[in-house]
Chains A and B, each alone.
Chain A
Amino acid sequence: MSDIINDNGVVGFTRQVTLSTAGPTILDDFKLDLGSNAEFERTNHKSKTTGFAQAKGILKGTATAQLSSAAVDPQTFWGQTFTEAEGTFVIIAPIGRAETKSGETKATITFRQTTGSVVLS
């Protein structure tokens, strides 16, 4: 039979994070991608390119959050933040519908790196 194929005892793509309000949470299938860069072209009055500027994209990711109980509404994760080695992330929409099996509930979440904060009142 197959053995577990993971080096150094690390569970592949699974992370333990601490959400700002919900506390410790396990994220399976943790995936991070650098978002596409934004490129701007500068042109003269004849629409001829005279230069360009490029803005680096920001990190975006998805994961499957394991909820501590079926009573936890994953929608309450919206706006919560967590910090990883790659940076601080904020959970954004879409957040998937919770699915339960054998007493364990999971939902997919989407997040992006924070670049600052705005407090709305």
Chain B
Amino acid sequence: MPLLKFSDVPGLREAIKRENDIRDASFLDINANICGVEIRQMTPRDLLILDGIGNPLMSGGLPSPAQLADFLWKLSPRYLEGHSVRRFLFARSIRHLNYIEAVRACLNYIEDTFQDSPPSSGVSSMPYAGWCAHLICNLSSNPAEAEKVILNTPLKRLFQYLKVLRRKNDPDSTTHNPSDKVKGDYLRLLNARQQLVNVLKRRAN
């Protein structure tokens, strides 16, 4: 079986289409919808703030209702820093939000945002600069000039740029996609089947 076909792996075609749709949509500035509440695409600046204030959603945890409201407010297209009246009106408008559904939608939103983020090689080194500095320097030859633009560009786009640049610099570099999970499950099934066949063969002999 040399070439892998979509029909060989159940769900692979759908998974690839989904990840491609998320990539394309990121270039159209389409807002996400969290149970009827519109939020922008997350930028490095948003990530710095949300991670900095320790919002549990950023680490896959469960937020308090106030933290959930804060997450939605900071990413709201109506967000204005230090504007307490707007914030109060926003909080009032979302007070009937279904907590479970909203948290689930926020976690999906974060997962989609990071679908093309760089993988881990398991090799850690002493940090000598912040992740934003690495991001900006990788994407621009003039960091000081590009800084503002990059910090306000959706992460979904920046991660795609990083992937393309990496492949451009090293054509044999590995790339990860969410659809790898579907292929991985298929691979593990094949291996388990092979092991079972080997056991049965040994018993038969």
Q: A residues engaging B (CB < 8 A)? A: 1-4, 6, 8-11, 14-17, 23-26, 28-29, 62, 64, 66, 68-69, 84-85, 96-104, 106-108
Contacts and interface: CB of A to CB of B under 8 A. Distances in A.
B120 interface: yes
A106 B177 CA distance: 11
Interface residues of B, number: 40
B181 A102 contact: yes
Given A23-B191, A66-B184, A100 B122 contact: yes
A33 B2 CA distance: 17
A102 B7 contact: no
Given A14-B183, A23-B191, A69-B188, 7 more contacts: A2-B21, A64-B174, A99-B174, A104-B183, A104-B184, A107-B174, A108-B172
Contacts of B174: 64, 96, 99, 106-108
Contacts, number: 116
A26 B190 CA distance: 10
B85 interface: no
B123 A100 contact: no
Interface string B174-201: 1110101101101110110011000000
A66 B183 contact: yes
B173 interface: yes
Given A2-B21, A15-B4, A66-B184, A102 B190 contact: no
Contacts of B120: 99-101
A29 B120 CA distance: 20
13 contacts: A4-B13, A10-B3, A10-B5, A16-B190, A64-B174, A68-B191, A99-B176, A100-B120, A100-B121, A101-B176, A102-B181, A104-B184, A107-B174
A96 to B, nearest CB: 7
A11 B12 contact: yes
Contacts of A103: 181, 184
A98 B173 CA distance: 11
Contacts of B178: 102
Sort A-B residue pairs by CB-CB distance and give the 3 closest, nearest first. Answer: A101-B119, A24-B190, A101-B176
Nearest to B198: A23
Given A11-B5, A26-B4, A104-B181, A98 B191 contact: no
B194 A98 contact: no
Contacts of A102: 176, 178, 180-181
Contacts of A84: 2
Nearest to A3: B17
A9 B13 contact: yes
B8 interface: yes
Interface in B32-48: none
